[in-house]
Amino acid sequence: MKNYIFGCVVFASSFFAQAGDAESFIGDYLSDFAKGSDLSGYFVEKPQFIFGPHTHVPESAADAAVFIKEIRTKLAESHYGKSNIDKTKVLASIDNYNLITFSLTRLKIDGSELDKVCSTYGVLQTEAGYRILSWQPSKTDTNGGC
């Protein structure tokens, strides 16, 4: 019985450690996004960006970074400054894959609130480290949550 309980504790702690590392990785990504840094190192080849019924699949990580930079440029027109993570929810953590939803508050350069959004990331742990496999932005629900 002790071995069973110990095994469950080890499994649970590894689950949360992996998910926590993936969450930290997305935090770094959002920080670099806010800075306008090159984001190509954050993506797998041919990641999927899901916008409702539409899916955009760039041919490479570099193409994905260009696409995301275009989104950042549009946000900058609204005086976007950075994103703060309000809450996270791990939807799945299977082997080297994590699916995590982030509740975000996007702030303007002056620190005032631009808006609140939700982003769900599929994050894959590869030999080269974590990489974004998918991204699905969405609006918040009526209570401001995801």
The CATH code of the domain that includes 56 is 3.10.450.50
Residue 107 domain-assigned?
yes
What's the predicted TM-score (pTM) here? 0.84
Could you tell me the pLDDT band of residue 122, with boundaries at 50, 70 and 90?
A: very high
Residue 120 domain-assigned?
yes
Residue 40 domain-assigned?
yes
Region of poorest pLDDT, from 17-21, 27-31, 63-67: 17-21
Residue 144 domain-assigned?
no
Separation CA 88–CA 63 (nearest Å): 27
pLDDT at 1 over 60: no
| Cα dihedral 15→50→109→76 (10° resolution) | 150
- What range defines the domain where residue 32 resides? 2-139
pLDDT at 104 over 60: yes
Residues 126, 44 contacting (CB under 8 angstroms): yes
Residue 101 domain-assigned?
yes
pLDDT for res 121: 98
Query: Tens digits of per-residue pLDDT, 60-85?
Result: 999 999 999 999 999 999 999 999 99
Phi, psi of 36 (to 5 degrees): 80, 20
Residue 145 domain-assigned?
no
Tokens of 99: 């699916």
Residue 146 domain-assigned?
no
Average pLDDT, the chain: 89
How many distinct structural domains can be found in the chain?
1
Phi, psi of 116 (to 5 degrees): -120, 135
Separation CA 138–CA 50 (nearest Å): 9
